Structure 1
Amino acid sequence: MRRTVVRSFLALGAAFVPAVAQAHVGVGAAHGFAHGLAHPFSGLDHVLAMTLVGVLAVQLGGRAIWMVPAAFVSVMMVGGALGAAAVNIPFVETGIALSIIVLGAMVAFDVKASAAAAAAIAGLFALFHGHAHGAETPATASGLIYGAGFVLATVVLHAIGVSLGFGLHRLAETKARFLTRSAGGVAALLGVLVLAGAA
């Protein structure tokens, strides 16, 4: 199962290799791709939420391991397109902060949601994250190249979360649960601080 999941993430990342190659054709394209790639890493809010998606997916197990990250990435692209098109979505920053709180709490309390329910929750929050990314599209960059950058970065963050989840599960069961749930709790508390800053 673990090898299958790792291979799936590698395949998804490889799908963006053509975009990476195209990004190096010209300076403007390279700048757009690099800007998109860096954006999810530019804020603790994005890093926490996207990593939590991977940890939650492993915690739920089964189909959730691929369904939850896939739902996040898919809906995030829609949100990115809306943001790039300057379509307004209210409470974007609040939604991003709440994503950390809710996802962190789900991990902390070991919520036994179904894969479909968890995917729906991740997808809802992905809309806000995607919109924030899309709204930052440089005026001189191709939306597709920039979008490929932040999608690839998101896949990387999900993969880090999945790897972290599997890594924790390799420990003794009691320790794994304690560390995973503690990490979720800390993330949720950080989300409260982010929410306070966004209010």
Structure 2
Amino acid sequence: MVQRGQREFLVPGLIVLIMTLIGALLTSLVIAREWERGTFEALFATPVRPVEILLSKTVPYFVMGMFGLVLAVAGSQFLFAVPLRGSLWLLVLVSSLYLLVALGMGLVISSATKSQFLASQITFLVTFLPATLLSGFIFDIRSMPWGAQIVTSIFPARYFVSSLQTLFLAGDVWPIILPNALVLAGMAALLMAMAAKATRKRID
């Protein structure tokens, strides 16, 4: 049976897995399926701009991801009795940034592969697996080998897990949350720019 201290440490990390599944995996599969079915060819024949296509594919999954966040936070409070010591608005802000990162990764992967099978495999390897093993969710990053600690710095889940655990267990600790949020914001901007370029209005 999971003890209270372990529960308070692990439950916030589960939010990362939920957001990763909704943001990256589902998005990559749906967009890749549209590439396979030729739906994008019909979009390219319209006056719709690539940015508008990107928004139409991003907004529904962003809303779905935020709804998943609400359910996860409610479950942590009422089912597992894990306290939220930080600000709710700050939790929403950081989660929104990570969700944009996950959506960007899903869009980039699906646009690059244009195959549901490849998209699912690559997304699992670069998002879900690192979110489980290399984010600090299960294994403390400080206990990992030096080389592994460096590798974790390239995965956005590391910064989201750190922020969540800080918000739930300690509160609004800005020296931890602010750098993590800035990294996530930078990753989100980069990935969305890459997704917009990959979803440009032309057929390769």
Query: Does the TM-score normalized on the shorter chain lie above 0.5?
Result: no
TM-score normalised by the chain length of structure 2: 0.38
TM-score normalised by the chain length of structure 1: 0.39
